[in-house]
Structure 1
């Protein structure tokens, strides 16, 4: 009885390992501009536009800091 239980657990762990190795890792999709502009002030239009301009520069196609929002 005890030996059968050990075999069942071993088979279960093996199946779990096989299934988990076949899964693809999914990376979260973060929009750089959206994440950056969220910190821009909403009350002052001029400051918000200036902040969004900086975000466009930071998150533009020539940006070297891909994934780095800090």
Structure 2
């Protein structure tokens, strides 16, 4: 009887650890998308001037105005 209890406790602990690790991965992904423009613009770094300007414009078009997204208006 006690072996069954130990197995069920171990199974619940494993489920808890799996759920916890899945939650940690989700938080990391969400944090990456917080500032779309910065993430996009980082890919433009190191390009020659004309290419950088094109890349930057694409980032503005793709991500919109980050001031509105981040709530930094005003």
Normalised TM-score (structure 1): 0.52
1:3-18 equivalences in 2 (<5 Å): 3-14=1-12, 17=15
Query: For residue 46 of structure 1, what is the aligned residue in structure 2?
Result: 50
CA distance, structure 2, for counterparts of residue 11 and residue 41 of structure 1: 51
The TM-score, its normalising length taken from structure 2, stands at 0.50
Q: Which of the two has greater helix per residue? A: 2
Matched, 1:56 2:54: no
RMSD value, Cα: 3.0
Task: Give unpaired runs (5+ residues) of structure 2.
Answer: 66-74
Larger-gyration structure (1/2):
1
**Which stretches of structure 1, 4 residues or more, deviate above 2 A after TM superposition?**
11-17, 25-28
